[in-house]
């Protein structure tokens, strides 16, 4: 059942090229220049007339929501707010009939997310679900939705659910961008082609597995770890930190790279591993100067870079390459090495990778 892999988590990490393809199959028609999604087409007016989109989710799904915020605002020019479902439902939020709420949930059973949906519906908002589990409570409770089609995710640590959620949300953003005319035809087509090529690039990113395993041996006894990223890769830093803490029990924090100087830099010494996402597109020079700041304080740097990068190599202790892609799609690639790093570190620490202590795959109580 683990398909020859030692753990479900590793199997699910390796399934991502296939899972992403399944997510866009029948929806992404690059040759015809179309994104086909019935749940969006049938409700196009609601999306186009929306004052804003509110995204609610928990955990890893919330991180996918943060990536989506960058994509929706950048490509479709629609204002987005991303909320923890647990905070949103209890803080008497302002919701109107002109709001669209997107709920993201792998299991479709998360209690707080479900409660946020019910509240938004009562206030007249249009509610759209992005779920993996077909027929789940959230899928049934929403007005419309799009499944991720990632296949069952058994490992408690979410992996393929995250990348397929981002894929669905990217398709939605592209569809709305096309309808609104916020992207030129050429840009729109460029993104479709690039997204179609992502599974092959994920495959390429997975080739770093052996290198990452070697890196893991050096950091498996760390007690803390910092993850930094900017722009589209800030949420990826949060997700990398969550992956490490939940399965290896190493304390980890994700930060926007520029926030480092507002506090976390005080933590940096020769004992502190810092994972930095420094892809060539997206504030590259600024991230490189953050790396310099870490180096001058003797921090240990593990950098995720674009293939062929030279400058970071000179500064970092380790570099892991991912293929080049357009900036909004980089999270689909930069996430991969961070998943593998947490997997190998957890395994070396003797942790139960698929079933970390105190955690449940679906959180049906608040």
| Sites of contact with ligand F6R (CB under 6 A) | 58-61, 105-107, 110, 113, 156-158, 242, 246, 362-363
Rounded to a whole number of angstroms, the minimum distance from the CB of residue 276 to ligand F6R is: 21
Q: Which is nearer to ligand F6R, 159 or 325 (CB)?
A: 159
What DSSP designation does 182 have?
-
- Cα-based distances in Å from 71 to 202, 232, 239, 334: 19, 8, 17, 16
Cα Rg of the chain, angstroms: 20
Report the residue number, 239 or 309, with the smaller CB distance to ligand F6R: 239
- Give the pair of three-digit tokens for residue 217: 């041996």
Q: Is 220 a catalytic residue?
A: no
Q: Smaller CB distance to ligand F6R: residue 323 or 356? A: 356
Rounded least distance, CB 86 to ligand F6R, Å? 11
Show Cβ contacts of residue 351 under 8 Å, excluding neighbours closer than 6 positions: 247, 248, 249
Taking the CA atoms of 53, 58, 64 and 69 in sequence, report the sign of the dihedral they define. Answer: positive
Cα(242)–Cα(307) distance, integer angstroms: 25
Q: Which residues contact 341 (CB under 8 A, 6 or more apart)?
A: 212, 215, 216, 240, 244, 275, 302
Q: How far is the CB of 225 from ligand F6R (least distance, A)?
A: 16
CB of residue 70 vs ligand F6R: minimum separation in angstroms? 19
Q: Are 318 and 309 in contact (CB under 8 A)?
A: no
Question: Residue 354 contacts by C-beta under 8 Å, 6 or more apart in sequence?
Answer: 7, 8, 9, 154, 155, 156, 157
* Structure tokens belonging to residue 138: 């959230």
Give the integer Cα–Cα distance in Å for 181 and 170.
16
Closest to ligand F6R by CB, 311 vs 362, is 362
Q: Which is nearer to ligand F6R, 116 or 276 (CB)?
A: 116
CB of 110 vs ligand F6R, minimal distance in Å: 3
DSSP-assigned states of every residue in 119-169: HHHHTT-EEEEEESSTT-HHHHHSSEEEE-------SSS-SHHHHHHHHHH
Degrees (nearest 5) of the Cα angle 229, 167, 4? 90
Residue whose CB is less far from ligand F6R, 246 or 309: 246
Q: What residue number has its CB nearest to ligand F6R? A: 59
Q: Which residue is catalytic, options 180, 286, 295, 361? A: 361
Q: How far is the CB of 134 from ligand F6R (least distance, A)?
A: 13
- Of 57 and 75, nearer to ligand F6R (C-beta) is 57
Scanning the structure block, which residue is given the tokens 């707080």?
112
The least distance separating ligand F6R from the CB of residue 91, rounded to whole angstroms, comes to 19
Which residues belong to the active site? 361
């Amino acid at each position: 059942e683990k398909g020859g892999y030692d753990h479900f988590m590793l199997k699910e990490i390796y399934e991502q090229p296939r899972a992403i393809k399944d997510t866009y199959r029948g929806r992404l028609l690059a040759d015809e220049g179309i994104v086909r999604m019935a749940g969006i087409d049938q409700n196009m007016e609601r999306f186009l007339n929306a004052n804003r989109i509110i995204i609610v989710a928990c955990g890893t799904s919330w991180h996918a929501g943060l990536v989506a915020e960058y994509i929706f605002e950048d490509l479709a020019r629609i204002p987005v707010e991303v909320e923890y479902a647990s905070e949103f439902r209890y803080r008497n939020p302002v919701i109107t009939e002109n709001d669209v709420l997107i709920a993201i949930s792998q299991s479709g059973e998360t209690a707080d997310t479900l409660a946020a949906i019910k509240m938004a519906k009562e206030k007249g908002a249009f509610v759209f679900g992005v779920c993996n589990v077909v027929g789940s409570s959230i899928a049934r409770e929403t007005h419309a939705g799009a499944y991720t089609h990632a296949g069952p995710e058994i490992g408690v640590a979410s992996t393929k659910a995250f990348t397929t959620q981002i894929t669905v949300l990217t398709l939605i953003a592209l569809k709305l961008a096309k309808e609104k005319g916020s992207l030129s035809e050429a840009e729109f087509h460029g993104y479709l082609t690039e997204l179609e090529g992502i599974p092959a690039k994920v495959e390429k990113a997975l080739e770093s597995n052996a290198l990452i395993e070697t890196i893991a041996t050096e950091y498996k006894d760390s007690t803390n770890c910092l993850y930094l990223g900017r722009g589209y890769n800030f949420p990826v830093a949060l997700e990398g930190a969550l992956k490490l803490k939940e399965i290896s029990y190493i304390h980890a924090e994700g930060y926007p790279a520029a926030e480092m100087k507002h506090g976390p830099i005080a933590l940096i010494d020769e004992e502190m591993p810092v994972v930095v996402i420094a892809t060539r597109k997206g504030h590259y020079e600024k991230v490189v100067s953050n790396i310099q700041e870490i180096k001058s304080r003797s921090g240990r740097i593990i950098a995720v870079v674009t293939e062929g990068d030279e400058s970071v190599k000179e500064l970092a202790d380790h570099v892991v390459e991912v293929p080049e892609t357009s900036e909004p799609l980089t999270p689909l690639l930069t996430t991969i090495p961070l998943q593998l790093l947490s997997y190998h570190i957890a395994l070396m620490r003797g942790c139960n990778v698929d079933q970390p202590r105190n955690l449940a795959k679906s959180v049906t109580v608040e």
